[in-house]
Amino acid sequence: MNPRRPYRSDISDARWALIEPTLTAWRQARLDRRPTGAPAPTDLREIFNAILYLNRTGVAWAYLPHDFPPHGTVYSYYAAWRDEGIFAQLNYDLTGLARAKEGRDPEPTAAVIDTQTIKTSTNPPTASQGTDAAKKIVGRKRSVATDALGLLLAVVVCAASVSENQAGIQVLDQAKGTHPTLL
């Protein structure tokens, strides 16, 4: 691939060194299943940089700059990583590293849970939104669980009509599934 000028959203060498083994192992497992076994022509770092660019700028997939791989290729990698839990695995691994760097056990034992109701536009399907009667808001409810350092452990998005207790139970169940050391 031709060298390009870096974007501000590009991942640093140090951060890439942390996630590259996971992405390379994922691609190798896929290549091992292919009948030809030919190496994939796309640079994983460029795919990841393109996803970071999209996340930072908010542009549509089709407006991805030409010096990145084609937007269809980037989206197919993104969808596969999302569906196969690669992003979740990276979050889990990096959370453990960040906790260890702060002198804490890599696995958290306590979590902070918060729930927020957010208004939605008129476009979302009505099945995925509801009315928070206490706040008189039509929209969705997001619940997050973080550790004591503020690192994200779990996220649940549901209709605003779901009670805060039920949303909290869902996010806690998700967090405990990933981090069984939570008390």
pLDDT digits (tens, 9 = 90+) for 143-161: 999 999 999 999 999 888 8
Number of domains in the chain: 2
Give residues with Cβ within 8 angstroms of 67, minimum separation 6. 2, 4, 5
93 within domain boundaries:
no
Same domain, residue pair 74 and 126: no
Give the range of the structural domain holding residue 113, as residue numbers without chain letter. 106-178
Same domain, residue pair 79 and 119: no
**Across residues 19-36, what is the average pLDDT?**
87
**What does the pLDDT read at residue 49?**
97
99 within domain boundaries:
no
Query: What distance lies between CA 33 and its chain's CA centroid?
Result: 26
Same domain, residue pair 124 and 77: no
**74-98: per-residue pLDDT in tens?**
999 999 999 999 999 999 999 999 9
CB atoms within 10 A of CB 146: 19
183 within domain boundaries:
no
Give residues with Cβ within 8 angstroms of 52, minimum separation 6. 9, 10, 11
Contact 140, 170 (CB under 8 A): no
